[in-house]
Structure 1
Amino acid sequence: MAENPWIWDTARAKYYRFDHANQLYIFEDGDVLPLSTPSPTLTREEPPAPVVSAFAPLAAAAAYPTPSDSGSSTQTYFTHSTGASIAVGPCPQPTDDLANGRYKVLRTLERGGQTREKGVQQAQDSHDGNIYALKTYVCHNVYQYNDRAANFDREVSIMSRLSQSPHVVKMIRSHKSPETLEYAFVMQPVANQGSLLYYLRSQFRSPQMVLFSDSFTHMALLNLAKGLHDIHRHSVRHKDIKPGNILLHDDDILYTDFGLSLDFNGYSTDETDGPDPEHDCTRAYAAAETFAHKPRNRRSDIFCLGCIFLEIVSARCVAITGETEWEDDTIFGDDFVRYHEMVANGRIHRKLESMLNDDRLHSIHRYLPLISKMMRADRDKRPDAIQLLNDIVHNNPYVS
């Protein structure tokens, strides 16, 4: 049997190996930590314990081989709590949980987008019995699988940093499956009210219903502002904010899908320029600077969220009046064109004016000037996430 280079990390409950050439700890799931220079007296089985706070996944990890020996053998691992080297055996080898059928799919929650074929599924974990949302990227060949590695690692890093936000879905774990050419995220909660897209469509199609109550509308705007503030302060641009990427669960509203997001942690600017690939955002919600190939930054996210705010208050208008024409000039209307075009031709301004002039809609009037600012064509004249949140808190009657 060939020497097994993998070492069990009890603190993280996963295997890792050394890459001395690049001075890295390489974990079985692709996570990477910088390798501190060990003392010459330490054996290979007794590395200094990697520091959790230094965790930083790297795209290069995907190129490293996984353990080829699938059998069991006596291993030596390092216990970080005691610093002792303990011989144990047999130890389980790293396994491919996706290929081995760890998750039992209960139903499909979402198809389409980048999650080819399998999409997002509700699944039960055979290890702990819990129900999760399983988001799977399916690649068609090994070249596509290797090419996607950097994007997957970036999304893992982003979701790890955002894990403490109550307004972002939680990543429980992630998987790489070279056997099935899949990458997957295991997330909670499984949103019991679906996406905001479904909720909006239901209100517009059923004007006699009141899905968008006064309190729900106010709290939705507030929590969306809080969530975007959390995302931006963690050095992330979402880049694909749309109703389909916002989930409703109990009394929470949650951002999801960071597959296109920009991680500018460690960089001096959040700005990008040049042409955006066609798939690099949802074009209906994209700001004017995206189409003009002008510099884009976090305020481009603000424009996208402004479009959603407009849709939410439009749904509230339908709930108040029972009149379906309030869906006009939104993506749900028959004559919709991209939002940035409707800003340029004045349709959005006229829609906001008609809302402001209708006394029946007084409960949303306080938000209309803010939506107008968020959807300005000039990027630099839009509020940032902090200004947006302060304005929402100031105008929200449900915030004490």
Structure 2
Amino acid sequence: LDKEVLPYKPVKNLGVGASASVEMVEDIISGSVYARKVFRNVTTRNLEEVKKGYQNEVQIIQRLASHRHIIRVFATYTAGRELGLILQPGADSGDLAAFLAECRDLNHSKTALGFPRFWTLYSLFGCLVDGLSFIHQHTIRHKDIKPQNILIHMGSAIYTDFGLSYDSTLVGNSTTSGNPQGFTRKYCSPEAADWGKRNSKSDVFSLGCVFLEIFLVLCHPIS
């Protein structure tokens, strides 16, 4: 596929990780807005490994697509060595990390514009618990839950970035050990950081860290 024929116009960068970059794009035909995830640093040596991770992420998202708090795959493409995912929705309020930063700024400025955002934060607890419960019911471990991997769209939370996720359907349990192949230390459980035995409870620990950040913002409401 020639990348130039894709009907997507870049709108803004959303983030860059170790293995992929994400940007908001607009469909020039329909006007719809999506997130485009492009896998980076693809070489002849690691091409098959990247393809395997790419396919794993697509399959996992498709399995979870029926839930309102999970990102959905709209399209996929391969252009040379570039592997791309077109995801929806294109979050109208960015990720939770940016959303929390905006709430802190509005709190410091004492402006009433922050009130709707704070009500959104209150609603996220239920959204995120419901979404993670669904993920685990489908024998998936996310493995990298953090504010940057949670989108805010129309006042609701959406889990995204299943690039490190583990599907334990064939083995019967979610427990693994050894090298976790990537994690975010600030949010990972102690057993994951120590390369010990870990399971779906590690996701719960990570979500607890996210909840703590939300709670700290809510502890300082606009006065």
Task: Confirm or deny: 8 A CA contact 2:19 2:41 kept in the other structure.
Answer: no
Q: How much does 1:99 deviate?
A: 2.4
Find the counterpart in structure 2 of residue 189 from structure 1.
89
Using the size of structure 1 for normalisation, the TM-score is 0.51
Gaps of 5+ in 2: none
Q: CA RMSD in A?
A: 2.0
Give the direction of change, closer, same or farther, for the CA distance of 1:294–1:215 in structure 2 (3 Å limit): same
SS of match in other structure, 2:46 = helix
Q: Distance in 2 between matches of 1:187 and 1:213?
A: 24
**Is 1:301 aligned to residue 203 of structure 2?**
yes
Find the counterpart in structure 1 of residue 217 from structure 2.
315
Q: How much does 1:104 deviate?
A: 3.0
Q: Distance in 1 between matches of 2:116 and 2:171?
A: 40
Pick 1 or 2: higher relative contact order, CA cutoff 8 A, min separation 6. 2
CA offsets 1:141-197 (integer angstroms, 9 cap, x no match):
2222222111011001101001101001111121223x2x11111111111111110
SS of match in other structure, 2:143 = coil
Find the counterpart in structure 2 of residue 228 from structure 1.
132
Q: Distance in 2 between matches of 1:99 and 1:217?
A: 38
Q: Distance in 2 between matches of 1:108 and 1:302?
A: 32
Q: Distance in 2 between matches of 1:126 and 1:114?
A: 29
Q: Distance in 1 between matches of 2:184 and 2:116?
A: 25
Find the counterpart in structure 2 of residue 247 from structure 1.
151
Find the counterpart in structure 1 of residue 39 from structure 2.
137
Q: Distance in 2 between matches of 1:134 and 1:275?
A: 29
Find the counterpart in structure 2 of residue 108 from structure 1.
12
Find the counterpart in structure 1 of residue 192 from structure 2.
290
Give the direction of change, closer, same or farther, for the CA distance of 1:132–1:318 in structure 2 (3 Å limit): same
Q: How much does 1:140 deviate?
A: 4.0
Instruction: Report which of the two structures shows the higher radius of gyration computed on alpha carbons.
Output: 1
SS of match in other structure, 1:258 = coil
SS of match in other structure, 2:127 = helix
Task: Confirm or deny: 8 A CA contact 1:203 1:212 kept in the other structure.
Answer: no
Q: Distance in 2 between matches of 1:269 and 1:307?
A: 24
Task: Confirm or deny: 8 A CA contact 2:174 2:199 kept in the other structure.
Answer: yes
Q: Distance in 2 between matches of 1:314 and 1:172?
A: 35
Q: Distance in 2 between matches of 1:127 and 1:151?
A: 30
SS of match in other structure, 2:87 = strand
SS of match in other structure, 1:171 = strand
Give the direction of change, closer, same or farther, for the CA distance of 1:137–1:246 in structure 2 (3 Å limit): same
Find the counterpart in structure 2 of residue 393 from structure 1.
none
Give the direction of change, closer, same or farther, for the CA distance of 1:153–1:314 in structure 2 (3 Å limit): same
Letter in 2 for 1:245: N
Task: Confirm or deny: 8 A CA contact 2:103 2:117 kept in the other structure.
Answer: no
Matches within 5 A, 1:237-386: 237-277=141-181, 280-319=182-221
**Is 1:167 aligned to residue 69 of structure 2?**
yes
Runs of 4+ in 1 over 6 A off after TM superposition: none
Q: Distance in 1 between matches of 2:135 and 2:96?
A: 18
Q: How much does 1:122 deviate?
A: 2.1
Q: How many residues align?
A: 219
SS of match in other structure, 2:220 = helix
Give the direction of change, closer, same or farther, for the CA distance of 1:318–1:235 in structure 2 (3 Å limit): same
SS of match in other structure, 1:283 = coil
Task: Confirm or deny: 8 A CA contact 2:62 2:73 kept in the other structure.
Answer: yes
Give the direction of change, closer, same or farther, for the CA distance of 1:309–1:198 in structure 2 (3 Å limit): same
Q: Distance in 2 between matches of 1:211 and 1:143?
A: 51
Give the direction of change, closer, same or farther, for the CA distance of 1:175–1:310 in structure 2 (3 Å limit): same
Task: Confirm or deny: 8 A CA contact 1:235 1:265 kept in the other structure.
Answer: yes
Q: How much does 1:306 deviate?
A: 0.3
Q: Distance in 1 between matches of 2:167 and 2:93?
A: 29
Q: Distance in 2 between matches of 1:123 and 1:205?
A: 27
Q: Of 157, 166, 179, which residue of structure 1 is paired with 2:59?
A: 157
